[in-house]
Structure 1
């Protein structure tokens, strides 16, 4: 908090109750950039519950002497790491220390979190009919397969200086592989490694799957029953600390009857951004008076 601000300022003073979110200008005025960025990433409840005390070192927020003892014994940072996971904190730091365009950092973070739109993930969410890789048609398209094991990705890595090194790396997840490589190479090598993974993804997306997402939804989308409204929603995370939310409402004929878009200044993880997209869809439905509705992710 900046030293020249009111020390008696309350959290409620920073909330725009009419707009249903943070008072962005005031938050930026009161806090330094690192602090206001973290604050704006916290989603606010629309129910405006009464404030209550929460003891963060305990799992359920209830004060316990034991948690107080460990806080005093280990210190603030170590206790936080034990409670919320040191691995993810270190992983986050490693990803955002990469020197490159913000889109590269964002791509690597999505890959580490398992949120890339591979067929394996889409099929598990019933957004694709098959989990088979559409590029090689030889295996299930997981993130590891798409970035390293697919036919054309293998050619890329064999031509790189790490072709032999990657035969011994973990294949359980991209996060494990990234951490493994990061522990063995310096920053410049890690940056090139990430750039090659990004190149493998972009090449497959643009050359082999130029319009797969739209064709997929066109083949899978089904209208609601008569008298109901189907609301599709989606979220887009940009590289400029902003999340875009989009909503499309259709009737049983498939005709678009309402649209909604909203931009939020935040850098949410993909899962949280999707959840906020669902909430925005429900708010729009309530505002328009739609009582019978089907909520479905992806526009």
Structure 2
């Protein structure tokens, strides 16, 4: 992989050498004893876009090898078949060969009703054109790219807007703490996920808040002025509200004639809807929220299930579906609609995807549990229509175990339920 083209190479060697990008983009270590695999710099984690560990690294862990974490005795082999599969099936190639997907993303960003300077910021951020320390380091290699606020990792665009302590404090104080769940290789990956998970007006607020976080970060770094998370949130909210107010005055509604998408909807007659969601509370653990509603729109059961373990987002959302079905079964429901705001889980259940990973084993448990019901429908809803389950997934006080409320709404979420369901 580190070989050079050389001078006057043959056509055969040139063809082999120029195909190295295929291997680099699709290759992934199969861990044997792990002695030659770098924990941070090598691709060894299957099932992710980057195939690399994205967690913050410790100061003295730069040269850590995988064999310091595990013990095993077998080696893996990278075959031509896996290279072909990487070429044909991997998402990265689909993105490179299908510019319409990229254009679709940019079309959605440009169609958002945000300030022009916010759109310009969004475009520059996605192009890694905002002045981060990692960007400077790519041009001046002796320049220290370590984040000067948290010192945990290099200051990339996604680190500055999402991963850094300053950004996380602001997101956790907002109504969009869900954006911190999971891990993403780039800002575009993160914002694409937000577009799928949130309503359009919420995406507008997320992009605007990202812009406000960048401005707050610059004040902290350049002027030594640290703003309170509440003030950053208030400023971003004010910008969005003022822009919408201008649109209302111009046309009696949104300037482009759009209306905000509807949130939660009651199930069809004779069905019960079970909304589920998963949430992560920093380093404390994982939570699952479940709310059961009948066809009249009345809440019949709520549950908050909390664990000390911290799971990957996809795993947590699949477990939320499983626990939602268990609560529904205990409540005596027979014909149900399971509604989640995780499209990946819903699509996997609809398409009956099979496999041997932890995620697929949970799907198998869900399918087995479904045989206890007369009918089960898998439904996807964006975040705006799943607020009650989201609040239950983050229910406080935190207490490992299961709490169930039957025919009553927990006081801490009554206001959210009133706005989201009962209206």
Q: TM-score normalized by structure 1?
A: 0.41
Rg larger in 1 or in 2?
2
Q: TM-score, normalised by structure 2?
A: 0.29
